[in-house]
Amino acid sequence: MELHGVGEYTARSVLIHVSEAGVAAVDVNVRRLVSRFLGVDSDAKAIKSIADTLSPSDRSSDFQHAMLDFAAVVCTAQSPKCESCPIEERCQAEI
């Protein structure tokens, strides 16, 4: 993050893909998914640490891409597909 133009999201993404570290890169889509699933305010600072906790210590890059794809296809911003969502039973969202 000391490099010019490298922010936290980019630094975390590199870390995930290089070392498979158990951290998450939280963009607006991951934030939305975590917020809805756990019923946490999307503005909460804790979202990043929650996402880190969810991320496995191995295959964290696969987990990161799964969260991004899931948020883009199923848990979309405007019309989430809750009726066909495989994690609906455990989701805390009130949509």
- Regarding 75 and contact with ligand SF4 (CB under 6 A), the answer is yes
Pairwise CA distance, residues 9 & 72, whole Å: 18
Read out DSSP for 15-28?
A: HHHHH--S-----H
Applying CB under 6 A, the site for ligand SF4 has a residue count of 13
Is the Cβ of residue 15 or residue 74 nearer to ligand SF4 in the bound state?
74
Tell which one of 26, 37, 50, 64 touches ligand SF4 (CB under 6 A): 37
Q: Considering only 11-19, 20-28, 48-56, 72-80, which stretch makes contact with ligand SF4 by CB under 6 A? A: 72-80
Closest CA to 31 of 17, 8, 51: 51
Based on the shown chain and the rule CB under 6 A, indicate whether residue 40 belongs to the binding site for ligand SF4. Answer: no
> Does 80 participate in binding ligand SF4 (rule CB under 6 A)?
yes
Least distance from ligand SF4 to the Cβ atom of residue 90, Å: 9
DSSP state of 74: T
How many Å apart are CA 77 and CA 42, to the nearest integer? 12
